Amino acid sequence: MRRLAALFMLTLLGACSTVDDLSPLSPSASSSPTTVAVRAPRFADSKPHEWDSGAPWNYAVHGTDVSKYQTSVDWPSAKASGISFAFIKATEGGDRFDEYFNEHWARTKAAGVPRAAYHFFYFCTPAAQQARWFIQNVPVDRSAMPPVLDMEWNPKSPTCRLRPDAATVRAEMTTFLEIVERHYGKKPIIYTSVDFFDDNGLSTFRGYPYWLRSVAGHPREKYGSHPFTFWQYTGTGIVPGMTGKSDINVFNGSEAAWNKWLRQNTR
Protein backbone atom coordinates (compact mmCIF):
# COMPACT_ATOMS: atom_id res chain seq x y z
CA MET A 1 0.00 0.00 0.00
CA ARG A 2 2.85 2.36 0.86
CA ARG A 3 4.40 1.64 -2.58
CA LEU A 4 1.13 2.59 -4.31
CA ALA A 5 0.96 5.83 -2.34
CA ALA A 6 4.55 6.70 -3.25
CA LEU A 7 3.91 6.07 -6.93
CA PHE A 8 0.81 8.27 -6.74
CA MET A 9 2.81 11.13 -5.22
CA LEU A 10 5.54 10.82 -7.89
CA THR A 11 2.88 10.99 -10.59
CA LEU A 12 1.47 14.18 -9.08
CA LEU A 13 4.90 15.79 -8.85
CA GLY A 14 5.67 14.93 -12.44
CA ALA A 15 2.38 16.42 -13.60
CA CYS A 16 3.07 19.67 -11.72
CA SER A 17 6.66 20.17 -12.88
CA THR A 18 7.53 22.80 -15.50
CA VAL A 19 10.46 23.45 -17.83
CA ASP A 20 11.65 26.98 -18.64
CA ASP A 21 12.18 26.57 -22.39
CA LEU A 22 13.20 30.21 -22.97
CA SER A 23 16.14 30.49 -20.58
CA PRO A 24 19.70 29.11 -20.42
CA LEU A 25 19.81 25.48 -19.41
CA SER A 26 20.57 24.41 -15.88
CA PRO A 27 22.94 21.47 -15.52
CA SER A 28 20.15 19.29 -14.13
CA ALA A 29 17.92 19.41 -17.21
CA SER A 30 17.32 16.34 -19.36
CA SER A 31 19.45 15.56 -22.41
CA SER A 32 18.76 14.47 -25.97
CA PRO A 33 21.99 13.12 -27.49
CA THR A 34 20.50 12.89 -30.96
CA THR A 35 20.10 16.67 -31.31
CA VAL A 36 22.64 18.26 -28.94
CA ALA A 37 26.27 17.28 -29.43
CA VAL A 38 27.62 18.50 -26.08
CA ARG A 39 25.52 20.44 -23.60
CA ALA A 40 26.87 23.91 -22.72
CA PRO A 41 30.38 23.51 -24.21
CA ARG A 42 33.02 26.12 -23.37
CA PHE A 43 35.22 26.68 -26.39
CA ALA A 44 38.65 28.28 -26.27
CA ASP A 45 38.97 31.77 -27.74
CA SER A 46 42.00 33.54 -29.18
CA LYS A 47 40.63 36.92 -28.06
CA PRO A 48 38.18 36.20 -25.23
CA HIS A 49 35.73 38.75 -23.85
CA GLU A 50 35.47 39.09 -20.09
CA TRP A 51 31.80 38.37 -19.50
CA ASP A 52 30.43 40.26 -16.51
CA SER A 53 27.03 38.64 -16.90
CA GLY A 54 25.10 36.54 -19.39
CA ALA A 55 28.09 34.38 -20.30
CA PRO A 56 27.45 32.28 -23.43
CA TRP A 57 28.51 29.03 -21.78
CA ASN A 58 25.37 29.26 -19.66
CA TYR A 59 23.45 28.28 -22.79
CA ALA A 60 22.93 24.64 -23.67
CA VAL A 61 23.19 24.62 -27.46
CA HIS A 62 26.11 26.03 -29.44
CA GLY A 63 26.86 26.18 -33.15
CA THR A 64 28.99 27.89 -35.77
CA ASP A 65 28.76 29.68 -39.12
CA VAL A 66 31.09 29.12 -42.05
CA SER A 67 32.01 30.32 -45.52
CA LYS A 68 34.89 29.78 -47.92
CA TYR A 69 37.26 31.36 -45.42
CA GLN A 70 37.03 28.31 -43.15
CA THR A 71 37.83 26.05 -46.15
CA SER A 72 37.15 22.37 -45.43
CA VAL A 73 35.83 21.47 -41.98
CA ASP A 74 36.08 18.17 -40.13
CA TRP A 75 32.41 18.21 -39.18
CA PRO A 76 32.42 15.01 -37.09
CA SER A 77 35.20 16.52 -34.94
CA ALA A 78 33.42 19.87 -34.69
CA LYS A 79 30.22 18.11 -33.67
CA ALA A 80 32.00 15.99 -31.08
CA SER A 81 33.41 19.17 -29.52
CA GLY A 82 29.95 20.71 -29.08
CA ILE A 83 28.85 22.17 -32.43
CA SER A 84 25.14 21.35 -32.68
CA PHE A 85 24.19 23.48 -35.70
CA ALA A 86 25.78 25.43 -38.56
CA PHE A 87 24.91 28.43 -40.71
CA ILE A 88 26.55 28.14 -44.14
CA LYS A 89 27.15 31.01 -46.54
CA ALA A 90 25.65 30.33 -49.95
CA THR A 91 25.37 33.56 -51.89
CA GLU A 92 26.14 37.26 -51.92
CA GLY A 93 24.44 39.94 -53.97
CA GLY A 94 23.09 38.76 -57.30
CA ASP A 95 26.07 36.95 -58.76
CA ARG A 96 28.43 35.59 -56.08
CA PHE A 97 28.32 31.98 -54.92
CA ASP A 98 30.48 30.67 -52.09
CA GLU A 99 32.70 27.97 -53.55
CA TYR A 100 32.64 25.90 -50.35
CA PHE A 101 28.85 25.94 -49.95
CA ASN A 102 28.16 22.60 -51.61
CA GLU A 103 30.87 20.88 -49.58
CA HIS A 104 29.69 22.34 -46.27
CA TRP A 105 26.05 21.66 -47.15
CA ALA A 106 26.65 17.99 -47.91
CA ARG A 107 29.12 17.24 -45.13
CA THR A 108 27.10 18.84 -42.33
CA LYS A 109 24.14 16.69 -43.33
CA ALA A 110 26.31 13.59 -43.46
CA ALA A 111 27.63 14.38 -39.97
CA GLY A 112 24.13 14.94 -38.60
CA VAL A 113 24.64 18.66 -37.95
CA PRO A 114 21.46 20.71 -38.52
CA ARG A 115 22.26 23.54 -40.94
CA ALA A 116 20.89 26.57 -42.73
CA ALA A 117 22.05 28.49 -45.79
CA TYR A 118 22.58 32.24 -45.61
CA HIS A 119 22.69 35.12 -48.08
CA PHE A 120 24.84 38.23 -47.64
CA PHE A 121 22.83 41.22 -48.83
CA TYR A 122 24.40 43.61 -51.32
CA PHE A 123 23.03 47.14 -51.57
CA CYS A 124 23.85 47.65 -55.25
CA THR A 125 21.53 44.87 -56.48
CA PRO A 126 17.72 44.83 -56.25
CA ALA A 127 16.36 42.56 -53.52
CA ALA A 128 14.22 40.49 -55.91
CA GLN A 129 17.27 39.69 -58.05
CA GLN A 130 19.22 38.65 -54.95
CA ALA A 131 16.37 36.40 -53.81
CA ARG A 132 16.28 34.70 -57.21
CA TRP A 133 20.05 34.17 -57.06
CA PHE A 134 19.78 32.54 -53.63
CA ILE A 135 16.95 30.29 -54.80
CA GLN A 136 18.95 29.32 -57.89
CA ASN A 137 21.86 28.09 -55.75
CA VAL A 138 20.30 26.67 -52.58
CA PRO A 139 18.26 23.49 -52.98
CA VAL A 140 14.96 22.98 -51.21
CA ASP A 141 15.69 20.59 -48.35
CA ARG A 142 12.88 20.17 -45.85
CA SER A 143 15.37 18.81 -43.29
CA ALA A 144 17.35 22.08 -43.36
CA MET A 145 16.79 24.92 -40.93
CA PRO A 146 15.15 28.10 -42.34
CA PRO A 147 17.21 30.26 -44.72
CA VAL A 148 19.01 33.31 -43.35
CA LEU A 149 19.28 36.90 -44.58
CA ASP A 150 22.55 38.52 -43.46
CA MET A 151 22.05 42.29 -43.13
CA GLU A 152 25.08 44.39 -42.20
CA TRP A 153 27.07 47.32 -43.54
CA ASN A 154 30.07 46.47 -45.70
CA PRO A 155 32.29 49.59 -45.74
CA LYS A 156 35.27 47.66 -47.10
CA SER A 157 33.52 46.41 -50.22
CA PRO A 158 35.64 47.10 -53.35
CA THR A 159 32.55 47.55 -55.54
CA CYS A 160 29.61 48.82 -53.48
CA ARG A 161 29.55 50.93 -50.34
CA LEU A 162 26.01 52.25 -50.61
CA ARG A 163 24.17 52.98 -47.35
CA PRO A 164 20.49 53.45 -48.26
CA ASP A 165 18.13 55.19 -45.88
CA ALA A 166 16.39 53.06 -43.26
CA ALA A 167 13.03 52.95 -45.02
CA THR A 168 14.66 51.66 -48.21
CA VAL A 169 16.63 49.05 -46.28
CA ARG A 170 13.50 47.72 -44.58
CA ALA A 171 11.57 47.66 -47.85
CA GLU A 172 14.32 45.70 -49.59
CA MET A 173 14.50 43.28 -46.67
CA THR A 174 10.76 42.69 -46.92
CA THR A 175 10.99 41.94 -50.64
CA PHE A 176 13.80 39.41 -50.19
CA LEU A 177 12.24 37.73 -47.17
CA GLU A 178 8.82 37.31 -48.74
CA ILE A 179 10.17 35.78 -51.96
CA VAL A 180 12.41 33.36 -50.10
CA GLU A 181 9.69 32.36 -47.63
CA ARG A 182 7.28 31.56 -50.47
CA HIS A 183 9.87 29.37 -52.16
CA TYR A 184 11.15 27.39 -49.15
CA GLY A 185 7.97 27.39 -47.08
CA LYS A 186 9.82 28.55 -43.96
CA LYS A 187 10.02 31.99 -42.35
CA PRO A 188 13.64 33.17 -42.81
CA ILE A 189 15.97 34.22 -40.01
CA ILE A 190 17.52 37.71 -39.97
CA TYR A 191 21.17 38.08 -38.98
CA THR A 192 22.41 41.55 -38.09
CA SER A 193 24.91 43.58 -36.09
CA VAL A 194 24.39 46.29 -33.47
CA ASP A 195 25.19 49.27 -35.73
CA PHE A 196 23.02 48.05 -38.60
CA PHE A 197 20.16 47.27 -36.22
CA ASP A 198 20.28 50.76 -34.74
CA ASP A 199 20.85 52.64 -38.01
CA ASN A 200 17.84 51.04 -39.69
CA GLY A 201 15.33 50.93 -36.87
CA LEU A 202 15.08 47.16 -36.87
CA SER A 203 13.58 47.23 -33.40
CA THR A 204 10.33 47.92 -35.28
CA PHE A 205 10.94 45.23 -37.92
CA ARG A 206 9.17 42.32 -36.25
CA GLY A 207 7.69 39.02 -37.35
CA TYR A 208 10.95 37.20 -38.04
CA PRO A 209 13.37 35.26 -35.83
CA TYR A 210 16.62 37.13 -35.24
CA TRP A 211 20.23 35.98 -35.05
CA LEU A 212 22.10 38.82 -33.33
CA ARG A 213 25.81 39.55 -33.31
CA SER A 214 27.10 40.81 -29.95
CA VAL A 215 30.70 39.94 -29.12
CA ALA A 216 31.23 42.47 -26.31
CA GLY A 217 28.15 41.99 -24.20
CA HIS A 218 24.95 40.00 -23.94
CA PRO A 219 22.31 40.94 -26.55
CA ARG A 220 20.08 42.43 -23.85
CA GLU A 221 22.85 45.00 -23.24
CA LYS A 222 23.19 45.90 -26.93
CA TYR A 223 19.70 45.35 -28.36
CA GLY A 224 17.53 45.98 -25.32
CA SER A 225 14.46 43.78 -25.10
CA HIS A 226 14.42 42.82 -28.79
CA PRO A 227 13.74 39.07 -29.04
CA PHE A 228 16.36 36.78 -30.56
CA THR A 229 16.61 33.10 -31.42
CA PHE A 230 20.38 32.90 -31.97
CA TRP A 231 23.29 34.92 -30.59
CA GLN A 232 26.74 35.14 -32.21
CA TYR A 233 29.03 35.75 -29.24
CA THR A 234 32.51 35.53 -30.76
CA GLY A 235 34.35 35.68 -34.05
CA THR A 236 37.64 34.47 -32.58
CA GLY A 237 36.67 31.09 -31.17
CA ILE A 238 38.68 27.92 -31.50
CA VAL A 239 36.71 24.87 -32.61
CA PRO A 240 38.26 21.42 -33.12
CA GLY A 241 38.00 20.42 -36.77
CA MET A 242 37.98 24.03 -37.99
CA THR A 243 40.98 26.01 -39.20
CA GLY A 244 41.76 29.41 -37.73
CA LYS A 245 39.33 31.70 -35.91
CA SER A 246 35.72 30.56 -35.75
CA ASP A 247 32.38 32.26 -35.22
CA ILE A 248 30.44 30.63 -32.40
CA ASN A 249 26.75 31.06 -31.65
CA VAL A 250 24.19 29.90 -29.11
CA PHE A 251 20.52 29.07 -29.35
CA ASN A 252 18.51 31.24 -26.98
CA GLY A 253 16.78 28.57 -24.95
CA SER A 254 17.05 25.29 -23.16
CA GLU A 255 17.81 21.97 -24.75
CA ALA A 256 14.11 21.10 -24.65
CA ALA A 257 13.30 24.35 -26.46
CA TRP A 258 15.96 23.58 -29.08
CA ASN A 259 14.53 20.13 -29.74
CA LYS A 260 11.06 21.66 -30.12
CA TRP A 261 12.38 24.42 -32.44
CA LEU A 262 14.12 21.83 -34.62
CA ARG A 263 10.98 19.70 -34.87
CA GLN A 264 9.02 22.75 -35.98
CA ASN A 265 11.58 24.08 -38.47
CA THR A 266 13.26 21.08 -40.09
CA ARG A 267 10.38 19.31 -41.79
Active site residues: 152
33 CA to centre of own chain: 20
Decide if 107 contacts 73 (C-beta within 8 A).
Answer: yes
Antiparallel, parallel or unpaired: β 96-97 and 83-92: antiparallel
Residue type, 47: K
- Cβ contacts of residue 64 below 8 Å, gap of 6+? 78, 83, 85, 86, 87, 237, 239, 242, 246, 247, 248, 249
For residue 88, give the H/E element and its range.
Answer: strand 83-92
The number of beta carbons lying within 10 Å of the beta carbon of residue 224 is: 9
Chain Cα centroid distance, residue 246: 14
